Amino acid sequence: MHILSSKTTIASMNTYILNLHCPDRPGIVHAVTAFLLAKSSNIEEAAQFNDSVTGLFFMRVRFASPTDFASLKQDLIAFSKAENMECALHNATENMKTVIFVSKDGHCLNDLLFRCKSGLLGLDVKAIISNHKDFYQLAASYNIPFHHISVSGSTKEQAEARQFEIIQSENAELVILARYMQILSDDFCRKLSGRAINIHHSFLPSFKGAKPYYQAHDRGVKLIGATAHYVTADLDEGPIIEQDVARVDHSKSIEDLTAIGRDTESQVLARAVKWHSEHRILINGHKTVVFK
């Protein structure tokens, strides 16, 4: 949709992403496009969804505008209040500041870092935090600060305080639990609400605890899956972003299952992170709306 003023040119425009949700009613799209028209904007991409169960309307708009971010955000606050909407404005050209947590399994970390280096993910990884020292050399090879923070039952509170201090000091907008094998406290989960993504195998709740692929092999599973979701105080029960599966059979060894599972986890997490970094995900209660 082109609503570009003749007084402006594409080259002089700033690119933004607007996310919003509100109770559904007639005229929402018209109101949004009219607001953007008043800012001499050019809509490049738009998607919307009406949840008939909750009666909520969700929308994502990528657009170009000559208006600077601060002014546009200020005007958007007044607009959203008048229209009874919850809106979020993002600069589409900025890589998302990110902190990655990892323990001793590095397949997801390695995959994410390679995708970032290759320009496939719009992330600016500011730090890697781990309760083990295994990946300090990997972090160094990408010139990313590595923070080893050990965690035990007696030091958990202090460890999380230090972790959150790093997140805050880096102004991180996203935290990725890339196979970080520690349970976060309820308070930490609340602090990271809506900006922390976790990945795990999809054997839950059947095969809990250590070595799930050994348990799966013993039971002769035919599907291996992975789930990426937002972190909440309810362990592994946050709003699901993405899932996938791979078929296996009796011929696969434990090592085969583990390798296939790790590949699936890496791919699922990468997709979830990419969509989040592009502001394509809106949380809808216990679910998500993903504008792919």
pTM: 0.92
- pLDDT tens digits, one per residue of 145-196: 999 999 998 999 999 999 999 999 999 999 999 999 999 999 999 999 999 9
- Mean pLDDT, residues 189-207: 87
Angle at 204 between CA 200 and CA 205, to 5 degrees: 155
Q: Residue 53 carries which DSSP code? A: T
Rounded Cα distance, 40 and 36, in Å: 7
Q: Please tell me the predicted confidence (pLDDT) of residue 3.
A: 47
- Mean pLDDT, residues 269-284: 98
Residue 101 pLDDT > 80, yes or no?
A: yes
Q: Please tell me the predicted confidence (pLDDT) of residue 75.
A: 97
Structural domain spans, the chain? 10-91, 96-290
Bridge-based pairing state of the strands 56-65 and 14-23: antiparallel
Question: Is residue 10 very low, low, confident or very high in pLDDT (cuts 50, 70, 90)?
Answer: low
Rounded Cα distance, 247 and 222, in Å: 6
Rounded Cα distance, 74 and 83, in Å: 15
Q: What sections of 170-253 are H helices per DSSP?
A: 186-191, 212-219
Rounded Cα distance, 47 and 291, in Å: 7
- Residue 111 appears among annotated catalytic residues: no
Rounded Cα distance, 124 and 174, in Å: 10
12 or 128, greater pLDDT = 128
Rounded Cα distance, 171 and 113, in Å: 19
- Mean pLDDT, residues 54-82: 97
Residue 210 pLDDT > 80, yes or no?
A: no
Q: Please tell me the predicted confidence (pLDDT) of residue 236.
A: 75
Query: Residue 64: helix, strand or coil by DSSP?
Result: strand
Both tokens of residue 160?
């999380």
Catalytic residue among 24, 236, 256, 263: 236
Spatial CB neighbours of 227, under 8 Å, sequence gap ≥ 6: 199, 200, 201, 202, 236, 240, 242, 243, 268
Domain range 10-91, CATH class: alpha beta
Lowest mean pLDDT among 147-161, 213-227, 243-257: 213-227
Q: Please tell me the predicted confidence (pLDDT) of residue 202.
A: 80
Q: Please tell me the predicted confidence (pLDDT) of residue 172.
A: 98
Q: Could you check whether the bond before residue 145 is cis, i.e. omega within 30 degrees of 0?
A: no
CATH (residue range 96-290) = 3.40.50.170
Rounded Cα distance, 273 and 263, in Å: 15
Amino acid at 103: S
Rounded Cα distance, 167 and 174, in Å: 9
